[in-house]
Structure 1
Amino acid sequence: MFKQYIGWKFVLTSIAMVIIVTTIWFVSNLSRKIQEEERKKVATWVAANREVLQDSTGANLNLAIEIVTTNTTIPLILTDEQGRILDSRNLDSARIAQNPTYLQEQLLAFKKQHPPFIMEVDARQKLYNYIYYGDSLILKQVRYYPYIQLLVVTLFIGIVLFALSSTNRATQNQVWVGLAKETAHQLGTPLSSMEAWLEILRENEANSMMVNELAKDVDRLKLITDRFSKIGSVPKLEEKDVVQQIENMTNYIRKRAPQKVQFNIHTQETELAAMISPPLFDWVVENLLKNALDAMEGTGKIDITIENHPTFITIDVADTGKGIPKMNFEKVFKPGFSTKKRGWGLGLSLAKRIIGEYHKGRLYVKNSEVGKGTTFRILLRK
């Protein structure tokens, strides 16, 4: 399925590139032809002007005057040999009146666009005038239209893709929320039954040790149920000591981790308050610690570094496991992505959502090197 998606994506991108290249080539060819036609028109205009200046009579003069007066699209500037502007045509008269340097600016632009036509004014005195011309409005529109069109199409496609992505994300969120709440609901019934059986077992003092251990497991299941039930609803944030929360969760995981795994907490703060949802925040820390344990496969070291900053708190969870390739830094947070054979690929996705949406913070891969380990960073606003 993934390979098919990549294949279709490549085909569609290739087709789009062919359309873009073909459009630009066609319009460039068309604008070149229009430009050549305009040069011929200016050449004809110059010849007609020459006829008028030579004071011809009869049909030639009438034809020349008609050619001179019918040019209403191509902007022209007439100068003498010293570059003084003598006349202009088809330029914005309002801007000429408002801006004294407008004609000079246009003249400089015309000089860059096309070589001038030289018109002989007086053969005896060897006087010449120079006709500079620019691109007509039609030529400019033809030249820039495809780029504007492509920009509009690109923006449209971008908006459509963003809308589809938002819709898919919203659908995914609804699925995860529904799944989480249904799980919490389904766990509720057996939990109630287990609590009732515990009360019966407590009646016999000989069962006290067994009851205490079972009670811990029931409390753990109740915590998990509470976590799932909070997904999708706005959690109540409380001011809690982050250092204490992390120490408690680390101690819980340490007791259940292989003996060859070493846990270290590094911080200069004895107490560090932040607004968090304790059950959900514990879930995130637990998930990161369990991922670190899985990455190390029973042997290694986990370092948790807590740092206090003026407006935020950073919590780095570093392991000495197998590491993550750089190309997977973002993929590890996508639902369904997992490197474990039995993994569902939901833990980091939910953890990122808990920190990002509920705590207005960030969870990301700070750094990782294959074969050496990974560091995840939680950034919490105070």
Structure 2
Amino acid sequence: MIRPLLNWRTGLSIIAIAIVSGTIFYSQFLAKKIAREERQKVAQWVEAIKMAMNDTTGMSDNLVSIIISENRTIPIIETDEKNNITQYVNLDTASIASDSNYVRNKLREFRKQNNAIVWADPRDSTRTNHYYYGHTSLLNQVRYYPLVQLLIVSLFIIITITALTTSFKSSQNQVWAGMAKETAHQLGTPLTSIQGWVEMLKDNPDNEKIVVEMEKDVNRLKLVSDRFGKIGSTPHLEAHNVVTQVATMIEYIRKRAPGKVSFVLNTGGVAEIIAHISPPLFDWVIENLLKNALDAMEGKGSIVVHIRQQEGEVFIDVTDSGKGIARQNIHKVFKPGFTTKKRGWGLGLSLSRRIIVQYHKGQLFVKQSEINKGTTFRIVLKN
């Protein structure tokens, strides 16, 4: 499922680049073409103005009038040899009336946009006129069109990828929930059978010690089945003392850990810290973190669990003195399937994070880690 999603993203990116690149190329081609035509029209307009001034016969009046009147879009400002503004056309009359510097500001703007068309009086070389002109709205639209299209295409890609990602996550969650519930279902039948055999063994007093141990394992299996059964369903959160919950799980792991591993629970002398949790799922998270810490230490070291509350939140830090996590792997540890161990599916931390984030509306992350010095995982819960 991940590969098709990546292929979709790659395909959309290629299509977007192709569309935008083609649009930019073609719009720039059109913009240059329009700019050449506008300059040609301004040059014709200038010639028509000068023809009207120099032709005393009146023979060209009709042609001049047509050329001058046809320019309704290109703004032009004329200056003399002393840089005085002598005339202008196609400027906003309302802005001219309200702002005395409007025409002069437009002149500075036009100088940056286009080179002036210069006309020199053939009868007096000291007299020259400069005609500065600005971009028409059509040219501006053509030039800005690629940016608008880029924005639209980008929004389309973002919406599409967001929809695909949401769909992928939803499907992934359904797979997780389905697998968990099926596992719980499959465990149910042999558990019932084993419980029956245990009851039969109780009839023989010689089996007393065996029965006690078997019942512990059966109860453990029932707990595991119950945990898997709750995945995918909205758990009922209740106020519980997390100090007691964590202490119980530490004691459970301590009995199964090597003798060279020490466990410390530090609550700052506080015996009760309340948080809203689902006990079976919360215990699963703590168990996973403690087992993960044990695996990181390879038989010796220390595991310290700090619990404290502050401003409506409960912080639980699980720190080990193990081999640490490489910096490039820190963002991968919660991904399904990632593991540095020879055995295991790499699902423990992924499940733990889902339980804390999705069901408890909290946080689970790597607070810090240093190679050969250890790692600290932090859980944040609402009080």
TM-score scaled to structure 1, two decimals?
Answer: 0.87
Matches within 5 A, 1:353-364: 353-364=354-365
Residue 265 of structure 2 is matched in structure 1 by 265
Instruction: Name the stretch that deviates more: 227-236 or 303-312.
Output: 303-312
2:36 is aligned with 1:63: no
| RMSD (CA atoms) | 3.1
Residue 374 of structure 2 is matched in structure 1 by 373
Q: Take 2:284 and 2:70, find their aligned partners in 1: how far apart are those partners? A: 81
Render the CA deviation track for 1:274-321: whole Å, top value 9, x for unaligned. 111111111111111112222222233222222322132222222233
Inter-CA distance 102–367: structure 2 relative to 1 (3 Å threshold): farther
Inter-CA distance 368–4: structure 2 relative to 1 (3 Å threshold): farther
Render the CA deviation track for 1:315-342: whole Å, top value 9, x for unaligned. 2222233333333333222222233333
Residue 319 of structure 2 is matched in structure 1 by 318
Matches within 5 A, 1:54-93: 54-79=54-79, 87-93=87-93
Residue 287 of structure 2 is matched in structure 1 by 286
Q: One-letter code of the match for 1:198?
A: V
Inter-CA distance 348–58: structure 2 relative to 1 (3 Å threshold): same
1:161 positional shift: 1.2
Matches within 5 A, 1:186-265: 186-265=186-265
Residue 161 of structure 1 is matched in structure 2 by 161
Q: Take 2:217 and 2:43, find their aligned partners in 1: how far apart are those partners? A: 95
Q: Take 2:160 and 2:347, find their aligned partners in 1: how far apart are those partners? A: 27
Q: One-letter code of the match for 2:167?
A: T
Q: Take 1:220 and 1:190, find their aligned partners in 2: how far apart are those partners? A: 13
Q: Take 1:7 and 1:363, find their aligned partners in 2: how far apart are those partners? A: 30
Render the CA deviation track for 1:138-197: whole Å, top value 9, x for unaligned. 211221111221221121112111111111111111111111111111212222222222
Q: Take 2:55 and 2:69, find their aligned partners in 1: how far apart are those partners? A: 16
Contact 2:318 2:376 in 1 (8 A): yes
Q: Take 2:221 and 2:15, find their aligned partners in 1: how far apart are those partners? A: 54
Instruction: Name the stretch that deviates more: 21-30 or 226-235.
Output: 21-30
Residue 275 of structure 2 is matched in structure 1 by 274
Q: One-letter code of the match for 2:70?
A: T
Contact 1:50 1:120 in 2 (8 A): no
Contact 1:261 1:298 in 2 (8 A): yes
Instruction: Name the stretch that deviates more: 310-319 or 199-208.
Output: 199-208
TM-score scaled to structure 2, two decimals?
Answer: 0.87
Q: One-letter code of the match for 2:298?
A: E
2:303 is aligned with 1:334: no
Q: Take 2:235 and 2:8, find their aligned partners in 1: how far apart are those partners? A: 41
Contact 2:16 2:153 in 1 (8 A): no
Task: Count how many residue pairs are aligned between Structure 1 and Structure 2.
Answer: 382
Render the CA deviation track for 1:3-41: whole Å, top value 9, x for unaligned. 999899779857765665554345334423432332332
1:262 positional shift: 2.4
Q: Take 1:307 and 1:76, find their aligned partners in 2: how far apart are those partners? A: 74
For structure 1, the residue ranges without an aligned partner over 5 or more in a row are none
Inter-CA distance 375–53: structure 2 relative to 1 (3 Å threshold): farther
Contact 1:122 1:128 in 2 (8 A): no
Inter-CA distance 94–121: structure 2 relative to 1 (3 Å threshold): farther
